Amino acid sequence: MSLVSLLVASLLVLPAAGGAEHEVDRAGDPSLFMELFAHLTPHALAGFWVGGDKGFAYVDPHIPGDEGDAAAPDAHAPVFADSSTFTDFYKEEFGGGFGFLVYNINTVMWIAGAVLFLVFWMVARKARAQEGEAPMGAGFGLAESLILFVRDQMVYDVLGKKLGRPLVPLFLTLFLFILFMNIFGLLPLGSVGGTATANLAVTGGLALVTFLYIHFCGIKEHGFAKHWKNFVPHVPWFVLPIIVPVEAMGIIVKPVALTIRLFANLTAGHLIVLGLFGLTVFFGSAVIAVPTMGMAVAIYGLELFVCFVQAYIFTYLSIVFVGASLHPEH
């Protein structure tokens, strides 16, 4: 659920100005904070079964009750936590095979990818249609500004034009993909929405791309043996037993740092906003609601800025790490 949806829900449960008979049921209940924070965790939207008697079929991800079945489970029942639990539950009933779940963060990533493809396609189409003259329009101007910013101020600034030019599409895609996922995490998309970059699996996958490109570019530029040798500085031989483990650890720390940095920054802002929503319901008072909702809206606006900043930081650090493998002397 997006933060906008939670903001609207919080406003709806405010007590009316009239007295204690209008107090909300959750006032004074500390468990509501954990329920609000649970909105940051992924939840299954759909389940699919492959093999067995089912062949390939859709299966509702909600856990059936004692008298329920896979065809008509309770829509308000909890969903399966993961694909392995889902598979174990239905494997005997469906005569073998396996199941997998589609989560809300998957849909956000698909939407972000589709929007990214659509933006690139529309910009390229307009550029071809107006070949020989400067394309006009606010949308094209914004897209051009973003492309030139990533190319000139990020990629070329670190890698130089010669080495950076082939990598511009990669880092431009990385920057916009993260930016769109961050922004969609703030939009009211209902149950299909969520902040994909507030999930370690997503940020870890993005960091893995950077990790692979660090070594792919280094090996391509210097050769396999010299690439790995470049990680060890020129020091006296008796220092090598200390330097080699430290440098080896550094190889792993870089993608881990990228993973945690993006995850922590996106999660922290959401936790603050959700905590303010919780205070509104917890105290059940309009006197408390006005300042807390005001603070929540202000932080929500700050989150929009954070969306851009964190996409920039992740991409720029990725460029720096790749540049270090291409220019080990620096």
pLDDT digits (tens, 9 = 90+) for 161-173: 998 999 999 999 9
Pairing, β 55-59 against β 98-103: unpaired
**pLDDT beyond 80 at 81:** yes
Nearest to 183 by CA among 28, 313, 306, 327: 306
Q: How far apart are CA 195 and CA 109, in angstroms?
A: 9
The residue among 15 and 260 whose pLDDT is bigger is 260
The DSSP symbol for 79 reads: B
pLDDT higher than threshold 50 for residue 11: no
> Mean pLDDT in the chain?
81
Higher pLDDT, 6 or 176: 176
The model's confidence at residue 58, banded by pLDDT at 50, 70 and 90, is very high
At 70 the pLDDT is 52
Question: Any bridge partners for residue 56, and if so which?
Answer: 50
Structure confidence at residue 215 (pLDDT): 92
Average pLDDT value for residue range 228-235: 78
The pTM of this model reads 0.81
DSSP-H helix ranges across 284-330 = 286-326
Alpha-carbon gap, residue 183 to 85, rounded angstroms: 32
Residues 44-56 have pLDDT tens digits of 889 999 998 888 9
* Closest of 122, 142, 325 to residue 229, by C-alpha: 325
Average pLDDT over residues 104-119: 91
